[in-house]
Amino acid sequence: MAETEDRYAHKAAFQDFLDGDQGQGPYAQKIDSMIKQKEHRLIVDMNDVRKTSPELARGLIEQPSEYLPPFEDALQDLVRHKDPKFLTEGQEVHIGFTGSFGFHRVSPRELLSHLLCKLVCLEGIVTKCSLVRPKVVRSVHYCPATREFTSRVYRDVTSNSGLPTGSSYPTRDAEGNLLETEYGLSVYRDHQTITVQEMPENSPAGQLPCSVDLILEDDLVDMVKPGDRVQVVGVYRAIPHSAKGVTSGFFKTLIVGNTVRQLAKEVSAPTYSAADIKNLKKMKNRKDLFDVVADSLAPSIFGHDMIKKALTLQLLGGHEKNLQNGTHLR
């Protein structure tokens, strides 16, 4: 009873945060934009939550399993109030987070036991991505003998909506009649697992980089590929390992993704000032341009002028070819 009252109190607080200033606040406009663009995830800045209520921000980071579900319930109620036809049966809206996470912004090496069941912000390089597969959320079954439909809801250890339900698939009803699965009426969710490794510049010298598995679902799947530098916000979870029906004291850890953002585009994108562009245009009139570019290649290596010029020609030279079938060759 106390847990239900706390959930309703948290939901009311989050509704006030999202629909502040009588529906004229910044997040009310973001919800309208989310509905217009047909998106299902609202990105919330943790700093805004901290300014409104430090207690709610602390609860989201320290106890996401208790604070995140009422936050998403509040968002879902507001979305249904603004546009009742936006969400169909089985569809949900989610909350994503960005902003400052303090000591909870870590690398895979810093994921220790004191961060279990808490919201963390992880940065690293994607090294492996699985295929996107459907995960059943609710199965619908038809009984030819009684001509009745039954359904069953499934939750695993990564779910925030309740306790795990188990993975047994019903084949008979309570009276022993055979059941037929209605795949078209069942509800599924996209599911993908990726592996994120700590960045080489952040790993200690002489040690192998650490990595951690992440679970991405719904609109977060297929957002990254191996080699991307990413920042991921999610809940750090522990999954018990059982062998022959016996659960050991060791746990496999992973992160249930909440927000995924690529860092490579922001880090590697060069920025040129007006003076830089002016100097680059001046260089094209220099007669020794080839020598200047060759000398700029590997400037820390002395000599080897001919090798540097050969490498420069390999990097910048070549004849452009456009084939009849539209293929472009450099």
Residue-averaged pLDDT of the chain:
82
Q: Which of 87-91, 150-154, 160-164, 188-192 has the highest mean pLDDT?
A: 188-192
113 domain-assigned: no
Q: What is the pLDDT of residue 11?
A: 82
How many distinct structural domains can be found in the chain? 3
Give the CA distances from residue 243 to residues 237, 246, 250, 270, in Å, rounded to whole numbers and listed in that order: 20, 5, 11, 52
Select from 164, 254, 251, 160 the least CA-distant residue to 215. Answer: 254
Pairing mode of beta strands 187-197, 211-217:
antiparallel
pLDDT in tens, 257-309: 888 988 865 545 567 788 888 888 888 888 888 888 888 888 888 888 899 88
The DSSP call for residue 109 is G
Asked which of 77, 100, 123 is the last residue of a domain, the reply is 100
pLDDT for position 195:
92
pLDDT of residue 210: 87
Distance CA 197, CA 203 (A): 10
The dihedral sign for the CA sequence 288, 294, 298, 303: negative
Phi then psi dihedrals of residue 322, to 5 deg: -120, 110
Banded pLDDT at 245 (limits 50, 70, 90)? low
pTM over 0.75: no
Write down the pLDDT at residue 170. Answer: 80
Report pLDDT for 2: 55
Q: Are residues 93 and 176 in the same domain?
A: no
Residues 6+ apart with CB under 8 A from 287: none
The region of weakest confidence among 100-104, 116-120, 166-170, 231-235 is 166-170
Q: Judge whether residue 322 has pLDDT over 70.
A: yes
- Residue 218 forms part of a structural domain: no
Among 141, 167, 191, residue at a domain's last position: 191
115-128: buried (b, 16+ CB within 10 Å) or exposed (e) per residue? beebbbbbbbbbee
46-68: string of b/e by CB count within 10 Å (b at 16+)? Answer: bebbbeeeeebbebbbeebebbb
Range of the domain at 175: 133-191
**Same domain, yes or no: 145 and 63:** no
- 290 to 18, 275, 297: CA distances (angstroms): 59, 22, 11
Q: For residue range 48-88, list pLDDT tens digits in order.
A: 888 888 888 888 888 888 888 888 888 888 888 888 787 77
Final residue belonging to a domain, choices 83, 100, 117: 100
Nearest to 98 by CA among 124, 119, 69, 125: 119
Using DSSP's 3-state secondary structure scheme, residue 313 falls into helix
Of 262, 216, 233, nearest to 96 by C-alpha is 233
For the beta carbon of residue 186, count every other beta carbon within 10 angstroms.
17
- Give domain status of residue 254, yes or no: no
Cα-based distances in Å from 322 to 34, 181, 315, 316: 42, 54, 19, 18
Average pLDDT over residues 28-33: 82
Tell me the mean pLDDT in the region 202-229: 86
Indicate which CATH number applies to the domain containing 34. Answer: 3.30.1640.10
- Pair 156, 85 in one domain: no
Note the pLDDT of residue 214.
Answer: 92
